[in-house]
Structure 1
Amino acid sequence: MKIAEAARTRRTLGICLGAITAGLASAVIAAPAAIAAPDCSQDNIDATVATAQGQIQGYLASHPAGQKMLMTAAMQPRAQASQTLQAYAQANPQEYQEFTGILAPLGTLQKQCGVQVIPPQYQWAFDQFVG
């Protein structure tokens, strides 16, 4: 009887330890998700948009060819504007990468918070440019 009781006790302890371990593992896996929860407050949205706008203006001021391309694309029919964006990105891969890096937080904000921060008439260009 004592051997059977000892085996049952070990099995019970094993099950309890397994449950505790699984619980801790779940907590460790869930912790980064909880920490990484997006801040969708209006203050954060406004701050992110303002920061991006300032960076965009500064970047375009120092890259007049990029600014000219965007102004040209804005005046073109969508199909032609799409070609203009693609051609510029292919001809200037470093500028394309830098500019998409500036724009990326706006895309992230839209996806995570379900808000529209890009004017709807330019969303197609944003999607094409950022990807």
Structure 2
Amino acid sequence: MKFNRGISRIAGVSAGALLGGTVAAVIAVPTASAAPDCSPGGVATTVENVHASALSYLNGHPGANQAVNAARGKAPAQASADLRAYFTANPSEYYELRGILAPIGETQSQCNVSALPPSLSAAYDEFMAG
């Protein structure tokens, strides 16, 4: 798993959306879903919902929350290493958080848009790549 400083924001966003397990423990299970709302408001709502879910997940998972918060302010390489170590040791939290953050990637792909600013987008992509 690759991470950088922006991942902590993703977790909170979308990672600390790097990465924190979010969305009331939604596990990455394939499900059928309706086409996303690709309007600017629809994309923003998706990001806001993912952000809220990620924060909720992190609040319910103190270890992940601590790892994500500790990564803030660290050099990107150190933040990445620390988050990788935590989520490697806690794979269920990684996959839960990944599931929570997935709607951002789905919306970006299906709507052909960038839902996150470049700095967060890079962190999101690294986290989701594992």
Check conservation: 2:44, 2:115, Cα contact below 8 A.
no
Gaps of 5+ in 2: 1-33
TM-score by length of structure 1 reads 0.63
Question: 2:12 maps to what in 1?
Answer: none
SS at match of 2:72: helix
Distance 1:109 1:44 in 2: 9
SS at match of 1:122: helix
Distance 1:122 1:72 in 2: 17
Question: 1:21 maps to what in 2?
Answer: none
Question: 1:103 maps to what in 2?
Answer: 101
Pairs aligned (count)? 96
Displacement, 1:38? 4.8
Question: 1:65 maps to what in 2?
Answer: 63
Check conservation: 1:52, 1:106, Cα contact below 8 A.
yes
State the identity as a percent: 43
Question: 1:122 maps to what in 2?
Answer: 120
TM-score by length of structure 2 reads 0.64
Gaps of 5+ in 1: 1-35
RMSD over aligned CA atoms reads: 1.9
Greater RCO structure (CA 8 Å; 6+ sep): 2
Check conservation: 1:82, 1:128, Cα contact below 8 A.
no
